[in-house]
Amino acid sequence: MIEEVIDVKEQNLFIKFNNSFKKKQTIVFLHDSLGSVQLWRDFPEKLAEATQCNVLVYDRLGYGKSFPMITHERENNYMELEADVLNDLLSEFNINDAILFGHSDGGTIALIAASKYPEKVKAVICEAGHIFIEDITVKGVEEALNAYNTTNLPQRLEKYHGDKVETIVKAWTEIWLNDKFRGWNIEYLLENIESPLLFIQGEADEYGTLNQVEKTISQVTGTSEKFIIPNVGHTPHKESPEIVLNKSIVFINTIIN
């Protein structure tokens, strides 16, 4: 497993890359709003081993071991810009058959990338992604911000992000709680997604309703399926790792075999 910080169009990103399975596709993992390579734990390696696929995991700019953000301020299209960075990263490693596995913001970025760069995306696993803003989403972010201000959450996040914690929390909460962001919607991009899609969501997701799933799978052009897990919240791969792993293995094996 290669571990290093690389320069991708002037963004210094920390990556972990295993390309020992040279005849298979590459699973690329995209973390959530407060996530990192380290927070995926061993899930990427388990999925790669089970499917015999290569795997690329990276910290988005400002997160984990990647370099800090220049500013915490974000525009409404920040996830589209992240999809462009992903495209540059895929080009850096000459990956033209990526299976994108994205969680939350990462799931949304995966959908956008599949829409904008279909020639590089073999399939998408979107876990708890968003295509529009809901009241439950805003409430969830407000509660997370309150936890940040009143509990030991900052100290727990420092373990993964060091002195970048305050910046990434501001970057996430300020845009999602800004009135100008309430009209954000990427449904117009979905019809351009031709690659197979698996949308995984916990039935008790505290950041989004099942409308996110239904409206996504009904509007993509390629084949799509949903996988709803009862009594699970916003992070199925942590709350029910074996269930998510097994479903992902079955889905990926139908793509690569």
Chain length of the chain: 257
> What sign does the dihedral 233-109-252-28 (CA atoms) show?
negative
What is residue 21's predicted lDDT score, i.e. its pLDDT?
A: 83
What is residue 148's predicted lDDT score, i.e. its pLDDT?
A: 98
What is residue 38's predicted lDDT score, i.e. its pLDDT?
A: 97
CB 173 within 8 A of CB 145: yes
H helix and E strand count, the chain:
10, 8
What is residue 12's predicted lDDT score, i.e. its pLDDT?
A: 97
What is residue 107's predicted lDDT score, i.e. its pLDDT?
A: 98
Domain boundaries of the chain, sorted by first residue = 2-256
Selection from 190, 199, 202 nearest residue 251 by Cα: 199
CATH number 3.40.50.1820 is the correct assignment for the domain at 2-256: yes
pLDDT in tens, 52-71: 999 999 999 999 999 999 99
What is residue 1's predicted lDDT score, i.e. its pLDDT?
A: 85
pLDDT in tens, 181-211: 999 999 999 999 999 999 999 999 999 999 9
All residues at 6 or more sequence positions from 101 whose CB lies less than 8 Å from its CB, including other chains: 27, 28, 29, 30, 44, 47, 110, 125, 127, 248
98 phi and psi, to 5 degrees? Answer: -70, 140
- For the chain, which residues score pLDDT lower than 50? none
